[in-house]
Amino acid sequence: MEAMTALLAQHGLALVFFNVLLTQAGVPVPAMPVLIVAGAFVAQGQIGPASLMLVAVVASLIGDTLWYFAGRRHGYRVLRTLCRVAIEPDSCVKQTETIFERWGAPSLMLAKYVPGFSTVAPPLAGTMRVGLAAFLGYSAIAALLWAGLPVVLGAVFHAEVERALGWLEGMGTGALMVIAAAVVLYIGVKVIQRTMLIRFLRMVRISVDELRDLLRTDSRPLVLDVRSATARKLDPRRIPGAIAVDIEAPQGALFAVPPDREIVVYCS
């Protein structure tokens, strides 16, 4: 903490720029602590508020724009790649598509405050062919809101920030151990949840070859395509005979299905 404070005092704007840029580029480096401390420096007159916000917004836009063009060029593959490395990959795609379908491009303005959506929103905007000018405009507002809150908090509670920094410095390596333990505990819980989900899915999953053989029999199963409208638009391929269903309201597709008929569901 002492080193971070010293760096901010000497190279404040440059440190904020590179910290925000790395965060928005996808590197798991938190930017909030630096922005809060920078806000405390604003209250002390060591950093100009306009310069600080300009640097944060520009750095955020650079990182977001890189992902925007990646999505524009590579399409849905970028989303799948990002969601594979996400902490909750099983809901990443669906949540992102649902938000974007409901609110469209303006959803980018609040994207950074929605876990999971903040990472996938820029490439999804590129994949959906949102105009560059609209993307930059909404993303600039998002960056201003995202960076502005911790800066304002740091400025308002600058005395408390100073005391907190002093307390953490007094703890020395103990503070790092507490933070590391909390991070490890959170990741451990998510890993256990995901392991249990995968173990359950293995019991109810069917292979491509098994489904193909079943579709050739007289008692062929009913196949439901529960991908979102966005996913079906980006990848129009469909298993032959599959019925497109809204996962939030599947009753309509199942109403006339005999209860003894097998059902196979697939998604993104």
Q: What is the pLDDT of residue 48?
A: 79
Q: DSSP of 212-238, one letter per residue?
A: HHHHTSTTPPEEEE---HHHHHH----
- Give residue 58's pLDDT band: very low, low, confident or very high (50, 70, 90): very high
Q: In a 3-state reduction of DSSP, which class is residue 244?
A: strand
Give the C-alpha separation, 68 to 100, whole Å: 14
Asked if the model's pLDDT at residue 56 lies above 80, the reply is yes
Asked if the model's pLDDT at residue 5 lies above 60, the reply is no
Determine the average pLDDT of the residues in 23-49: 78
Domain residue ranges in the chain = 2-171, 173-204, 208-266
Highest mean pLDDT among 140-144, 148-152, 194-198: 140-144
Asked if the model's pLDDT at residue 77 lies above 80, the reply is no
Give the C-alpha separation, 108 to 125, whole Å: 8
- Tens of pLDDT, residue by residue over 93-106, are 666 667 777 777 78
* Sequence-separated (6 or more) residues with CB below 8 Å from residue 68: 122, 123, 125, 126, 132, 135
Q: What is the pLDDT of residue 244?
A: 87
Q: Which of 66, 53, 73, 64 is nearest to 118 (CA)?
A: 64
- Give the global pTM: 0.62
Return the percentage of the chain with pLDDT > 70, whole number: 74
- Neighbour-count burial of 243, counting CB atoms closer than 10 A to its CB (0-12 exposed, 13-18 middle, 19+ buried): middle
